[in-house]
Amino acid sequence: GAVVSQHPSWVICKSGTSVKIECRSLDFQATTMFWYRQFPKQSLMLMATSNEGSKATYEQGVEKDKFLINHASLTLSTLTVTSAHPEDSSFYICSARDGGKETQYFGPGTRLLVL
């Protein structure tokens, strides 16, 4: 149980384009989903927290207009990197938490390369 998937696993795009990453909880309802970014040889940094049906809460320093998060259902959250630039190249990982429980279950990650 507690499986989280992400799609795509790899994406390469041109600078200035937008990229959408999907995060799905496959066998549980995720009332809360989280988006993290991990730069090479660094730890995970929380970007934003999203609750189903509500606006996402962004961490300090994360541009909400650049990283659009939608959590329209209990099993799906999407992260859209708008007008991507090379500095946005990173490993993006989502996690999901079942309401009332403390454990976050992580997806396999999406590697984004912006040329």
Partner 1 sequence: AQSVTQLGSHVSVSEGALVLLRCNYSSSVPPYLFWYVQYPNQGLQLLLKYTSAATLVKGINGFEAEFKKSETSFHLTKPSAHMSDAAEYFCAVSDVEGNKLVFGAGTILRVKS
| Residue numbers at the binding site for partner 1 (CB under 8 A) | 4, 6, 32, 34, 42-46, 49, 93, 95, 97, 101-109, 111
Q: 37 is written with which tokens?
A: 């970014």
Judged by beta carbon, residue 57 or residue 80, the one nearer partner 1 is 57
Judged by beta carbon, residue 50 or residue 75, the one nearer partner 1 is 50
Q: Least distance to partner 1 from the beta carbon of 73, Å?
A: 20
Judged by beta carbon, residue 45 or residue 115, the one nearer partner 1 is 45
Judged by beta carbon, residue 28 or residue 105, the one nearer partner 1 is 105
> Is the Cβ–Cβ distance between 95 and 34 less than 8 Å?
yes
Q: Least distance to partner 1 from the beta carbon of 106, Å?
A: 4
Q: Least distance to partner 1 from the beta carbon of 100, Å?
A: 9
> Is the Cβ–Cβ distance between 95 and 84 less than 8 Å?
no
In sequence order, what E strands does 1-62 have?
4-7, 10-13, 19-25, 30-38, 44-51, 57-58
Q: Please, where are the H alpha helices in 1-115?
A: none
Phi, psi of 30 (to 5 degrees): -100, 100
Q: Least distance to partner 1 from the beta carbon of 102, Å?
A: 3
